[in-house]
Amino acid sequence: MDFLLSVIGYAVDLGNVWRFPYICYQNGGGAFLLPYLLMAVFGGVPLFYMELALGQFHRSGCISIWKHICPIFKGIGFAICVIALYIAFYYNTIMAWALYYLISSFRPTLPWVTCNNAWNTPNCTRYTYADLDLNRSWVNTSTSPSEEFFIRYVLQVHRSPGLHHLGPVSWQLALCLLLIFTVVYFSIWKGVKTSGKVVWVTATFPYLVLLVLLVRGATLPGAWKGVAFYLKPDWRKLLTTTVWIDAAAQIFFSLGPGFGVLLALSSYNPFHNNCYRDALVTSSVNCLTSFLSGFVIFSVLGYMAEMRQQGVETVAKNAACPLFITYAEAIANMPASTFFSIIFFLMIIMLGLDSTFAGLEGVITAVLDEFPHVFVKHREWFVLGLVCVCYLGSLSTLAYGGAYVVKLFEEYATGPAVITVVLLEVIAVSWFYGMPRFCNDLQFIIGSFLAFPPEVKLFNYLYPPWTTVVGYCIGVSSLICVPSYMVYYLITTPGTFKQRLLKSITPVPGGAHRGTVITNAV
């Protein structure tokens, strides 16, 4: 159960709570569920299952496992570790923002409710549901108190002209991030035995909060208008390629193959654990959570549209950072706003913590398996060093222009690189390791083998052309590990070139229990 909760906690993250509902409404509402489910069945779940099976059979992390599959592809493991570090550099910053909001929620009045604060501008306009009876309207120049609190007080992004001058680091956010990484360290320093217990809270609490917010959202005025907008099918959208691409991208990044996490976590499983069942359960929970989150989010957007006397589509499109602006504003206008604010931002933190636990465990397992004589006896110190590196790497995201850095990493550091990694994984397993051998491995462990980015913009800042080059360099920097290791392996392996090439694609026998076959797992 620890493993299942860890994988669910990793797969169900902030992308499920916010990204899926928006992708869904942008691509035909209820009609989007058809390509989404098809991509899950024929793409996401098989890749998810493949990584669980490989990790469980070979008992290795994302680096050392390649000597059992195809040694020359070992660079994939190093690329995965670099990608994981890039994610840690920006993903935990979002949790630091949420922690800042959480701390700010312990006040008699939430600070993003009023417009009479030092950081507010003349354009700040507060609207409540009571304003519907007054002759007031929301105009294009109006900004909400929650938007100004986030942009001008938490991020202070107005003090930075762009990526060319980020400004100093915010000490408040630096302390919040330090607290986040402290929690992360003491949750993973002893390995999956400690993190496996922590996820009993961090993986289950968000579902309780989602249920509470769903019930509360359903009782808000205009809520069903938002839900109807979320689910209204536009079947014509299915004729466009964009819908199918977005469906594939969403299910792919939601389930999370290619990040080394599934290989790492499954390597600690009992050898005959039914990973086929785990893949189906986790994928189903992931998809259902995404669908449920849509009701939670769009019921509140319907309420906001009713309050502002705007269409739901207008409210949704104008939300630059929805979790910290639109949803925070909606909470501020609810009765018992302090309570809902506390549990909401606590949920965001826990969703992020689960993914961070798993992401760093993927790197830790990979390095410890590859260099056991160096780090195994000093795991606590290695984890401390890794966490310190991640913290220092995150400092640029805490500057006044740090939100621009977060967006840059989000757009370039993961997308194309992870897709390339997974493509190389599939090629290595299918063509070099061989499907007959892979199916035979599944027979041993469970008894059956069946079982380029658009223009980047944030707030009103349009990223200059040179940042595209920087972004692509970030993405390519992780993939360089793959050809670099191929060259290194061919150079350092003894023998003729033909012998070296043959050895580079010949897997080292793996599997801890090849002599035992079970036939009743499925």
Binding residues for Na(+), by number, are 9, 11-12, 16, 254, 286, 351, 354-355
Rounded alpha-carbon distances, angstroms, from residue 425 to 72, 81, 200, 322:
12, 15, 31, 35
**Taking the CB of residue 128, how many other CB atoms lie within 10 A of it?**
11
In sequence order, which residues have a C-beta less than 8 Å from that of residue 122 and are 6 or more positions away?
Answer: none
Strands annotated E in 232-322: none
Tell me which residue of 329, 382, 390 sits closest to 356, measured CA to CA: 390
Q: Which residue has the tokens 């809520």?
A: 223
Number of H helices, E strands in the chain: 26, 2
Tell me which residue of 277, 288, 294, 292 sits closest to 37, measured CA to CA: 288
Q: Which residue has the tokens 């907008």?
A: 229
**Taking the CB of residue 1, how many other CB atoms lie within 10 A of it?**
8
Q: How far is CA 277 from the centre of its chain?
A: 23
Provide the token pair at 116.
Answer: 């009479």
Rounded alpha-carbon distances, angstroms, from residue 65 to 57, 71, 181, 243, 424:
10, 9, 28, 35, 14
User: Hey, what's the torsion of the CAs at 183, 189, 195, 201, to 10 degrees?
Assistant: -20
Q: What are the binding residues?
A: 9, 11-12, 16, 254, 286, 351, 354-355
**Taking the CB of residue 325, how many other CB atoms lie within 10 A of it?**
22
Tell me which residue of 348, 232, 206, 203 sits closest to 298, measured CA to CA: 232
Tell me which residue of 98, 153, 178 sits closest to 342, measured CA to CA: 98
